[in-house]
Amino acid sequence: MRAQEAAPVVQGEVLDTNGEGLIGAAVLLVNPKDSTIACHTVSDYSGHFAFRCKAAGEYWLQAHLLGYLTQGQTVVVPTEQMVIFKLPDDPKEIEQVRIGARRTGVKVSGDTIGYSVKAYTTGAEKTLGDLLARLPGLKVSQDGRVTAQGQQVEKILFNGRDLFGKNVGLATQNISSEVADTVRVVHGYSEYNLLDGFQNRDKTVIDVGVKEGMWNRVSGTVEAGGGYKSFYEGRGNAMFLGKTLMVSAIAAGNNTGESTFTVADYIALQGGIAGDDGVYTIKLSNLGFMGNLLFPPNDTYRLRNHMGSLNLTYNQEKRVKINVGGLFSQGDNASESSMLRQLISAQGGASPYFSRKSSESRNIGGVALFGLTLNPTDEWLISYSGSGDLSRTYKHERIDDEVGGATVTTLQRFPDRPVSMLHRASITYRLGDHLLQAHGSYQFSESRPNIEIESDDLNLPFSATRLPNGRFDLRQDLYKRTQDLQGELVGKFRIAEEQLLEVRVGDKYQYHRYISALTGASNPQPHPTDQIPLDNDARLYLHYSHAGIFWRKTEGAFRATIGAKGLMLHHNLQDSHAIPADASDNPKGYSLFVSPTVNLAYRFSNLHRLSVDYSLDLENAGIRPLTSGYTAQSYRSFWWGGRGRRDWVYLKQRVDLRYFLYNADRSVSINAKASYSRKREYATSTTVHGISSISEPYRAPDNQELSAYLFLSKTFAAFWEISLYTSHSLEWAESRVNGLVQPRQSYEGSVEFGVTTSYKTPFNLTASAGGYHDRYVLNSGISRYTYGMAKGGVIFSKGPVKATLEGGYSQSALRGRGIRNVLLETEISYEFWNSLSLVLIGRNLLNLNSRQWSKVSVSDLYRTEYTYGTLPGHILLKLRWEFGNKAKDGVEIKVKRR
């Protein structure tokens, strides 16, 4: 009975005139009475398609694919007869001249945007990312992530196959541009047929059509070189790309400060942030172990890093998918900076002070992932993923503070050995027009971020003995442990042709352990007047139970989600220094909340949408604000959770308004969003600064933020594209300093404008300009910071020579003082024999010796001006060998203007 309910109402194949299956053809089931689309799908790798939507009667069935003539026929559904489409080539696109190809180089079909690759490439593109950046409406970031029409691209497919998972950067930065024959952007993508009609329609992927000569071969690049001031750089990558298997190996190392891997690489090896079904979200367990390599401090002047990674994906016609990956990285950096800190609050007794800091750090660690997805039948989907990381970090700092005419020297050491792991599993079963899901996860993390402090002088909130050498010696031993176990049952029931009723029931258990102890040769002791302890041993047990019901309208012009989730939360805080609870304390008990969700959307067309979202949810304050003893954050700051109100959760409400447009003639793309959020916090903390006599009881019970961004791109005259990105945010709240409430307000605004050309000539241009403004007001104290930049570049490509030259200028203004910087970079390559090239690289050529720049930051008490010593520029000469990146000799590549 179940098999009969799940049977397709109509199925068939889309073939070319030679009888070969065509992947990615859009197949529509159209109601002839009003021309509305009853349901739609995309042909799979073999050209097969199947509809399982609720439909009966006479319909018009239509199949079309870029580069082919559209065909259609009348069908009466349900039917067991196979429908076969044979699509002939569309000769008009192939015969057009280049400008004509540009005008038809983008073709929209439903939620799919297809690009004629040959119409936009110039010959200077080396990687797939370079090629995608040429296509209208697509933007590629420095770490390889892609946005399409302003939407984040979640995956890159190859002939419809998912071979890279969520590691988009691995594909864009290591696949040759020669691989791509066609490119399609698919909005509303669903990988598995049983999830059609039940998934979030906002998922965006890119499907690359691969040239036949590029399958089942090993390709890659090996390069190495050195240059001015003993700089060196080396990188090698090899990749096998088959129709069911992808294997990638990368090794890299340098001392130039260039990143050897990205945050996207790390996230992908954690299995991504959200589940494939979009049902639940997992936060990254531990990013700190490679933090200095992923995000080097602004004051870094020397950075060495080395890495190796191995990734494997096996995908057999969406029935079995296996992902295995691992990444190892090692590096060290050195930094120098100076800081002038001034009090901006009207209250307090601290004087301005000046600091110089130098530091060195070493980091070593690795992360691994295993994932398995099974789709044994059209009704079942089973998935599991497990990941873990292990690392060791060490940081040493020296700080010289000028206070009251004297210089105070402090040494700090920060050793740590973090470890974490994450497991999650999901089972999905489709019962006719309904979907049942069960999923769960377990997350564990542990770290020991100790702090060792030696200082000439400290203003301490407790008693400590000065040693015979005149110094203080303190040690902060920390231990943090978190465990998270959660599970949820989800039922999605089709109550009408375009409507779903979704029911959720779930549980989540969290355990937090926080141990700290202030010790050391100076024998610290609690101050006799307040007796605040110098150690913590706290446990926090959290239990969340939730049940929710949601109504969803998933098809048609008007779409909506309306529902609510009820939460019952039980928490138990066990603190070794707990005091008798007063009326404002809540160390143990139950809480009930209702979390509503509203989403309303209207589709003027498939690529013209307007939506509004509202949500009210809870956020966890964590365990540290609940502890009762002192914890050292640094020599300058000793943190105390306080003995007043200690609520451990706070409410956050949010409203989002979104607008998306990709116009009919494919020349304009607009993506805009405006948001308002309000967060009510109930937590009291105290910070006592060890270098000055400021005591900061801080409370921000009500934070509000209004923000907006706009992304606009326009193609004109066939070969020019302009883009505009601007964002603005305004935040206002109240801060309580030394018992007095003071209004606080901040504004941040930025704008970036860009122009690119893609003529089929040796020369092409890129240009961009942008600016940033920051304004912060606390009571009567005002701080402003402004930054502006402009840069442009020339791209040259002819025969064996490829060259880029980029120049820029930036200026920042701090209290009327201008700080300028001029940028000049180049890369020239010459292929002299059989894919061997000499490459000359110049980075930051006007700063071959270390130069400085400044910025400002503002907190509720201080305005802090930083002066950084930045990474110097470099000149390198490298030898590069590219193998397997061109189509095989003797293989005819048929160019189709899709």
| Coil vs helix vs strand at 90 | coil
Q: Write down the residue that tokens 């304390």 correspond to.
A: 585
User: Which top CATH class is 492-634+636-723?
Assistant: mainly beta
Q: Taking the alpha carbons of 190, 192, 197, 199 in that order, is the dihedral positive or negative?
A: negative
Please tell me the total number of residues recorded for the chain in this structure.
898
Q: In whole angstroms, give the CA distance from residue 489 to residue 443.
A: 19
pLDDT score for 890: 32
Q: In whole angstroms, give the CA distance from residue 470 to residue 457.
A: 8
Q: Angle 886-892-893 (CA atoms, 0-180°, nearest 5)?
A: 65
DSSP H helices in 793-849: none
Q: In whole angstroms, give the CA distance from residue 630 to residue 462.
A: 9
Q: Residue 627 corresponds to which tokens in the numbers above?
A: 């502890």
Which run of H or E residues covers position 835?
none
DSSP secondary structure letters along 123-180: S---BHHHHHHHSTTEEE-TTS-EEETTEEEEEEEETTEE-STT-HHHHHHHSBGGGE
A 10 A CB-CB count for 69 gives 12
Q: Taking the alpha carbons of 109, 111, 117, 121 in that order, is the dihedral positive or negative?
A: positive
Number of separate helices (H) and strands (E) present in the chain? 7, 49
Task: Report the chain (898 residues): mean pLDDT per 10 consecutive residues.
Answer: 54 84 80 74 80 80 79 85 84 42 57 75 77 78 75 82 77 81 80 70 80 81 89 89 86 84 59 40 45 67 86 84 88 86 57 82 88 89 89 89 81 89 92 91 91 86 88 91 94 89 94 91 85 85 92 87 90 72 51 88 84 84 69 76 55 89 74 88 51 49 84 75 87 66 78 77 78 70 71 82 86 64 86 88 80 67 72 88 63 31
Q: In whole angstroms, give the CA distance from residue 622 to residue 445.
A: 14
Q: Angle 824-827-833 (CA atoms, 0-180°, nearest 5)?
A: 165
Q: Which CATH architecture has domain 103-215?
A: Beta Complex (2.170)
Chain centroid to Cα 690, Å, comes to: 37
Q: In whole angstroms, give the CA distance from residue 167 to residue 170.
A: 6
pLDDT score for 564: 93
Is 518 within 8 Å of 475 (Cβ atoms)? yes
Q: What are the phi and psi torsion angles at 891 (to 5°)?
A: -95, 120
Q: Residue 467 has what DSSP assignment? A: P
What are the contacts of 145-148 at 24+ separation with CB within 8 A?
145/169, 145/172, 145/264, 146/172, 146/206, 147/711, 148/113, 148/185, 148/187, 148/204, 148/206
Q: Which residues pair with 649 in a beta bridge?
A: 620
Residues whose CB is less than 8 angstroms from the CB of residue 483 and which lie 6 or more positions away in sequence, other chains included: 442, 443, 444, 509, 510, 511
Q: What are the phi and psi torsion angles at 699 (to 5°)?
A: -150, 130
- Half-sphere exposure of residue 301, counting CA atoms within 13 Å on the CB side? 17
Any idea where the domains of the chain sit in the sequence? Answer: 10-97, 103-215, 263-400, 492-634+636-723
Q: Taking the alpha carbons of 860, 865, 869, 874 in that order, is the dihedral positive or negative?
A: positive
Residues whose CB is less than 8 angstroms from the CB of residue 353 and which lie 6 or more positions away in sequence, other chains included: 340, 341, 401, 402, 403, 691, 692
Q: Which residues pair with 697 in a beta bridge?
A: 686
| Coil vs helix vs strand at 891 | coil
Q: Residue 54 has what DSSP assignment? A: S
Q: In whole angstroms, give the CA distance from residue 153 to residue 671.
A: 14
Among 539, 522, 416, smallest CA distance to 478 is for 416
Q: Residue 34 has what DSSP assignment? A: T
pLDDT score for 528: 77
**3-state helix vs strand vs coil in the chain, percent to 5:** 5, 65, 30
The whole-model pTM stands at 0.76
Q: Residue 468 has what DSSP assignment? A: T
> What homologous superfamily is domain 10-97 in, according to CATH?
Carboxypeptidase-like, regulatory domain (2.60.40.1120)
DSSP secondary structure letters along 338-355: EEEEEE-SSS--PPPEEE
Q: In whole angstroms, give the CA distance from residue 84 to residue 20.
A: 12
Residues whose CB is less than 8 angstroms from the CB of residue 497 and which lie 6 or more positions away in sequence, other chains included: 53, 54, 555
**CA-CA-CA-CA dihedral for 452, 457, 460, 463, to nearest 10:** 90
Q: Angle 100-103-107 (CA atoms, 0-180°, nearest 5)?
A: 125
- Half-sphere exposure of residue 225, counting CA atoms within 13 Å on the CB side? 18
Q: How far is CA 236 from CA 488, 704, 783, in A?
A: 43, 48, 47
Q: Residue 763 corresponds to which tokens in the numbers above?
A: 């020369």
Q: How far is CA 247 from CA 174, 244, 266, 321, 642, in A?
A: 12, 10, 17, 14, 54
pLDDT score for 179: 83
First to last CA, the chain: 43
Among 195, 337, 166, smallest CA distance to 262 is for 166
Q: What are the phi and psi torsion angles at 399 (to 5°)?
A: -125, 130
Q: In whole angstroms, give the CA distance from residue 149 to residue 140.
A: 12
pLDDT score for 636: 74
A 10 A CB-CB count for 445 gives 18
Residue type, 456: D
Is 236 within 8 Å of 887 (Cβ atoms)? no
Q: Same fold for the domain at 103-215 and the one at 492-634+636-723?
A: no
